[in-house]
């Protein structure tokens, strides 16, 4: 059981294992060791306990109609996750075959179907006509339908909050990046670092570098939920803004990743840096944060630097 579970589930932990391996390559100290220990413990603990107490096997739930319902529901969830992975590949390859609207339409349908199935409207295996509708089935069905309906505003350009981290961001979708006050969205230069330096020099501004990725969920979350906040958007307008994508398959992405590694000694994304037109580093901010005050302090660090020079 343990060997079979390991072989079948290992492919599903790629993002987690990839982060640990990247951390070990970058000399992350004990963090990669602790992460691998936690992963191994979580994977082995159920089978270790069952081996110590084999009588517990007899107390495990028996297969039946409930298990078939779980299989059907999880089948729809797996299809939704597959759409996410296909969308990530589409974003990285920059083929733009899966638009934001197409992605959301697929998720709305795939999360609505298990809700309808659990309520008995969709006739599939696992639910017989004589089976009563229990509280558990009703609650789970309601959660699926609520989540599905909550995605509908996204089809019309509305921000979906935390869900934005998993949704492809199209270049034409500037509404998500505009401030709540209705102001125009800030202008982001894409993969134009030298041009951004020249513009900063001409406008006497600093450059805000956003090392980001086409399939980076944390990057999408920051740009959809942190950057549009009024206190953050008000600070960003004083910078020349540039996105440097590092996870694409093109030569530009490889150059951006090498630049990040050589200049900032990391390949992590998202990663933020403020530099002056002469490429002197003013401030750096690693990774995602949900604390707007913390991110605002990072953006205000330019004021401290300028004051110290004066």
pLDDT one digit per residue (tens) for the chain, 310 residues:
767 776 766 666 766 677 677 666 665 667 778 888 888 888 888 888 888 888 887 877 777 778 889 999 999 999 999 999 899 999 888 888 999 999 999 999 999 999 999 998 988 888 887 788 889 999 999 999 999 999 999 998 888 989 998 988 755 444 444 444 455 667 899 999 999 999 999 999 999 999 999 989 999 999 999 999 999 999 999 999 999 999 988 999 999 999 999 999 998 899 999 999 999 999 999 989 999 999 999 999 865 443 333 3
pLDDT number for residue 27: 59
pLDDT number for residue 255: 95
Cβ within 8 Å of residue 129, ≥6 positions away: none
Question: Residue ranges of the domains in the chain?
Answer: 14-55, 65-158, 175-302
CATH architecture of residue range(s) 175-302: 3-Layer(aba) Sandwich (3.40)
Burial annotation 55-76 (CB, 10 A radius, 16+ → b, else e): eeeeeeeeeeeeeebeebbeeb
pLDDT number for residue 12: 67
Write down the residue that tokens 């690693």 correspond to: 286
pLDDT number for residue 310: 32
pLDDT number for residue 184: 62
Burial annotation 187-219 (CB, 10 A radius, 16+ → b, else e): ebeebbbeebbebbeeeebbbbbbbbbbbbbbb
């Amino acid at each position: 059981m343990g060997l079979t579970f390991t072989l079948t589930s290992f492919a599903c932990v790629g993002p987690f294992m990839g982060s640990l391996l990247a951390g070990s390559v970058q000399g992350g100290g004990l963090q990669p060791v602790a992460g691998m220990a936690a992963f191994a413990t979580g994977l082995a603990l159920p089978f270790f306990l069952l081996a110590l107490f084999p009588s517990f096997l007899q107390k495990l739930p028996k297969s039946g109609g409930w298990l078939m319902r779980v299989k059907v529901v999880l089948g729809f969830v797996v299809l939704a996750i597959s759409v996410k992975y296909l969308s990530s590949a589409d974003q990285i390859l920059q083929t733009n075959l899966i638009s934001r609207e197409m992605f959301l339409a697929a998720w709305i349908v795939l999360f609505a179907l298990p809700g309808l199935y659990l309520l008995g409207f969709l006739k599939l295996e696992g639910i017989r006509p004589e089976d009563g509708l229990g509280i558990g089935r009703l609650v789970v069905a309601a959660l699926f339908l609520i989540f599905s309906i909550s995605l509908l505003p996204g089809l019309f350009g509305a921000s979906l909050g935390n869900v934005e981290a998993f949704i492809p961001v199209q270049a034409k979708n500037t509404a998500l990046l505009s401030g709540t006050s209705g102001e125009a969205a800030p202008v982001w230069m894409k993969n134009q670092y030298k041009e951004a330096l020249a513009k900063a020099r001409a406008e006497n501004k600093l450059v805000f570098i956003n090392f980001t990725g086409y399939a980076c969920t944390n990057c999408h979350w920051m740009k959809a939920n942190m950057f549009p906040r009024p206190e953050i958007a008000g600070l960003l307008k004083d910078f020349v803004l540039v996105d440097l994508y590092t996870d694409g398959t093109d030569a530009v992405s490889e150059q951006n990743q090498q630049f990040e590694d050589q200049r900032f000694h990391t390949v992590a994304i998202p990663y933020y840096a403020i530099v002056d037109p002469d490429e002197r580093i003013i401030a750096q901010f690693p990774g995602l944060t949900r604390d707007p005050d913390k991110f605002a302090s990072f953006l205000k660090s330019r004021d401290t630097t300028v004051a110290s020079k004066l």
